[in-house]
Every structure is written in C-alpha cells, then in structure tokens.
Structure 1
Amino acid sequence: MSQNVYDNDLFFEKYRELRNNQDNYNTLIEQPAIKALLPDLKGKTVLDLGCGYGNNCIDFIKKGALSVVGIDISHKMLEVARKENPNELVEYMLMDMNKIGSLTQRFDLVFSSLAFHYVKDFKKLLYDIRVLLNDGGILLYSQEHPYTTAPKVGPTWTKDEYGNKVHYNLSDYMHSGKRYSKWFIDNVEKYHRPISEVINSIISEGFIINSIVEPVPDKYALDRRPDFKDEFDKTTCIIIKGTKA
C-alpha cells in the first residue's frame, strides 16, 4: 500500500492552507499547463487518479464529460471532495492507485495531477491504465520533475554570500528508487526515475507520446509570485500526454 500522508492531521492542515492561497504553484503554473492539453471531453468518461478535493472532477463535467470517477487514498481529501464538489455525474472512491486494476469501467481519459511520483511500481500503474482505457484513450498526467526528485538529500541550491540563489544542485539523477523528503512533515515517500526511464516505460506499455511539457510561469504568475523565476532554472513538474496505441 502506498504511503498516505494526506490523512496525517498536520500534513493535511498545512496542505489545505497552501491550496487555499490562490497564488500557489498548482493554480498559477501546473494547472493552466495541464488543462491546455485536455482533449475534447464532450460525452467522454474520465478517471482522475489522486483526485484530492475533486476540483478537477467538477471541471471535467463542466467541460462536457459524461461521467467522472475520482479516486484518492485519503479519507480527508474525499471528505472535502464530497462536501465541496458533489455532483451526480461524479463518483468519488477511496482507493490506492496500486489497486485500480480492480475497476471494471473503461475510460476515454485517465488524468492525474502531481501524484505519480508517489507510486512505487510505475510500469504496473501504466499497464493498469492501458487496460482501463478505451481504444484511442488518452493518459494525461503531471508528476514532480525528475530534477526535483533526484537528490537524495532533497532539493538544494548553491547561494552567494548574500543568500541569492546561484544554481540548483542536481545529484543522484541516474539512481532510481525511493526518496524521503520533508514537506510539512518528515519522511514523505516519493519515487525518483530519470526522464529516460519514465519515457521508455510509457512507450513499452503501449502508449504513443503526444506531448511533453516542462511548464514555466507566464507574466501573470511572475507578477503574483516573483520567486517563481526559479522555475526557469529548475522546473518543478513535468506533464506528459499519451495515447493508447
């Protein structure tokens, strides 16, 4: 079973506080970039892996989706989703992504926002997704960029004598495997894979890659958060879109 940090009381409250601030990374950078790659959803069925609060599930319905299944490993996340984002066309399910092979529905789109780096067996996940997709179905997901997950000591920067960032310290890049990071709490488990491993896994599991995006902030995002200029040195996430071959 995957680690479930989102049901940790301290982690959940800190994460909720972060997401309630509209000038966060997801809102200003990741979400606009991944939503720009969405296909036409009119009459389509969607599976959202790691659906969190359910915001994306509701957005898919607004974009014309026929039905959406949102799964998440966190009780707390789904409590918020069912309270704040209910919809008769959306089904929220408590489930580990490792268990999606038990689903019997088929989908036109499998979507995931910043969750796949928590998955240990990436190839199994891709296999399960391919089985769940209709012919010609689309996988669209974001994950933490391998530059971010690579260092075993966690992301660090070299700074000058005045504390200004000079460059990002990349290390351990070709060493795949588990990483432990501090994000609100200690020992948050993530899994690192270099880009070549990610891409080759997607191809070998029967997908044609359509787009790869390493998003950076636009002018609006930089006006809101000048510190996001760091994204031009090391982008936080990578977005990949593929079609079931």
Structure 2
Amino acid sequence: MIYKGPSAYNEESFLENYLKRRNREESPNNAIEKPILMELIQTVKGQEVLDLGCGDAAYGLDLMEIGARSYTGIEGSKQMAELAKKTTAGSGIQIINESLEAADFGNGIYDLVTSRFVVHYLLDIESLFAKVHASLKEKGRFIFSIQHPLTTSSFKSKAQGGKREDWIVDDYFIEGERNEPWVRETIRKYHWTTEHYITALLAAGFQLQALREGKPERSRFATKEEYDRRTRVPIMLIFSCEK
C-alpha cells in the first residue's frame, strides 16, 4: 500500500515508529534541521506564527516559550492532530485538522509561516506558496525545510538497507511522484528540483533571504562516526524567504 500525504500518520504503528525515530537526540530533525531553523528565525517575540504540517506541535511550544504571541498549527492527519492537541493542552495554541491543500490560511495575518519536512508531500507547490504569501503581513517571513532534492530524485540507495554512507542520484530532472520506502511503509512524495522550488517562490512574490543545506556541526553528535556519515550527503534544504 502507498500512503499519500498525512494518511500514514493515521496508522498507529507507523506513528509510533515515526515518533521514535523523530525524537532521537541525533535524528536529522533535532541535530541538524532545528538548530538551523532557529538560527534563521532569530526571534518570534510578539509574532503571529502559522506552522504547516505541525505534527505533534512540540515545536509550537518551543516558539511560544521564546515569545511568540500566537501559534496556529495545521495538521492533515487526524491522529497526529489529536496528539498535538494533547501535547499543547492549556498553552493557548490552536491546532486545525485539515489538509494544506484545503485549508484557508487567511490574508495578511501572520508574521512567520514555517513548515518542517512537509512541502515535498505536495503536488502543487505553486498554489501553496501563493497562499502562504497572501497569509503573511508585509515583510513577513516564510521559513521551511524539505528533503534535499538530491535525495528525493531516486530512492535506489534504500534498497541496500542499513545506514547509508553514499547516495545514488538519478532521474534528477524528471520531476514528479516518488514512492519512498520509509518507516516500514511506502510513502508518496514529490520530487522537484532546487531550481523549481526557487522559481516557484520568486513567482509567488517572495524574496529569497537564505538557503541552507543542513551542514552538520560536530558538537551535536556523540560519535565522530555518525558526524562523518552526516557530512557525506546533504539530506535537507532550508529556505528563508520574505514577503
């Protein structure tokens, strides 16, 4: 079975296995992506924040703790949205269980829109970027991460099993659907080139402020072996844009 978008997270076993991977101290999310995101965000004090594909919304608690005025998370998976509501109970955080394609982000509401490893699940990134742009105040920011297009081009390397120290890049300029073996299931994602992402952002009216490829820092890894492995292949792109 091939799961599309957030549907896999409605499966209890998948969600449990995902959270175990995601919450490891040395997971790419925690050891690489989050520190870079926070560096790019710098401050959220007094700001209205929208998180697209918010997961369990623990990130929302972090942003509220450092001064965000409000945090709204949109999550397409019913089971994940329920977890987010439990995680953030009593915090004033709002969780909306709706797909990003269907959700209305509003107009001129947010100072910051963020999204972590979600956009590569979407077929129509142009429409998403247009909605995000409309939802932001003037000078509002859109800061988000995706799987690096070098790794979404082909998943042949995953056939090897185990921890990978290199990656086969193939069909890079053939964009569209990809089925990734992930967390013991097959997940539908979409491969777009780096050029495609940047072109779509510019067409939506954004100015690209920064682009980061997830270069790891030695201090965030317990062993040199794991650090060295993470320096071999770029696994993420992080965009910082302004309206």
TM-score, normalised with respect to structure 2: 0.90
- Seen in structure 2, the aligned counterparts of structure 1 residues 200 and 36 have a Cα distance that, compared at 3 Å, is same
Q: Does 1:110 align with 2:113?
A: yes
Per the alignment, residue 195 of structure 1 pairs with 194
Per the alignment, residue 126 of structure 1 pairs with 129
- Seen in structure 2, the aligned counterparts of structure 1 residues 69 and 166 have a Cα distance that, compared at 3 Å, is closer
- Seen in structure 2, the aligned counterparts of structure 1 residues 50 and 44 have a Cα distance that, compared at 3 Å, is same
Distance 1:42 1:142 in 2: 21
CA contact (8 A) 1:156 1:169 kept: no
What count of residue pairs does the alignment treat as equivalent? 240
CA contact (8 A) 1:117 1:143 kept: yes
Per the alignment, residue 181 of structure 2 pairs with 182
1:116-155 aligned at under 5 Å gives the runs: 116-151=119-154, 153-155=155-157
Distance 2:185 2:103 in 1: 28
CA contact (8 A) 1:157 1:169 kept: no
Per the alignment, residue 68 of structure 1 pairs with 71
CA contact (8 A) 1:148 1:236 kept: yes
Q: State the identity as a percent.
A: 26
Unmatched segments (≥5 aa) in structure 2: none
- Seen in structure 2, the aligned counterparts of structure 1 residues 173 and 78 have a Cα distance that, compared at 3 Å, is same
CA contact (8 A) 2:108 2:137 kept: no
Q: What code does the residue aligned with 2:36 have?
A: A
1:1-245 aligned at under 5 Å gives the runs: 2-101=5-104, 103=106, 106-151=109-154, 153-156=155-158, 167-224=166-223, 226-244=225-243
Q: What code does the residue aligned with 1:218 have?
A: E
CA contact (8 A) 1:68 1:91 kept: yes
Distance 2:166 2:42 in 1: 37
Distance 2:88 2:167 in 1: 38
- Seen in structure 2, the aligned counterparts of structure 1 residues 2 and 165 have a Cα distance that, compared at 3 Å, is closer
CA contact (8 A) 2:108 2:135 kept: yes
CA RMSD of aligned residues (A): 2.4
DSSP 3-state at the match of 1:100:
coil
Distance 1:192 1:164 in 2: 22
CA contact (8 A) 2:213 2:236 kept: yes
Distance 1:155 1:101 in 2: 38
TM-score, normalised with respect to structure 1: 0.89
The Cα offsets for residues 184-204 of structure 1, whole Å up to 9 and x where unpaired, read as 233301000011111111111
The Cα offsets for residues 165-194 of structure 1, whole Å up to 9 and x where unpaired, read as 774211010111010011123330100001
Distance 2:12 2:224 in 1: 28
Distance 2:13 2:125 in 1: 28
DSSP 3-state at the match of 1:233:
coil
The Cα offsets for residues 114-159 of structure 1, whole Å up to 9 and x where unpaired, read as 11111110000001101111111100000000011001x444599x
- Seen in structure 2, the aligned counterparts of structure 1 residues 129 and 165 have a Cα distance that, compared at 3 Å, is closer
Cα offset, 1:56, TM superposition: 1.2
Unmatched segments (≥5 aa) in structure 1: none
DSSP 3-state at the match of 2:41:
coil
Cα offset, 1:228, TM superposition: 4.2
- Seen in structure 2, the aligned counterparts of structure 1 residues 43 and 232 have a Cα distance that, compared at 3 Å, is same
- Seen in structure 2, the aligned counterparts of structure 1 residues 128 and 183 have a Cα distance that, compared at 3 Å, is same
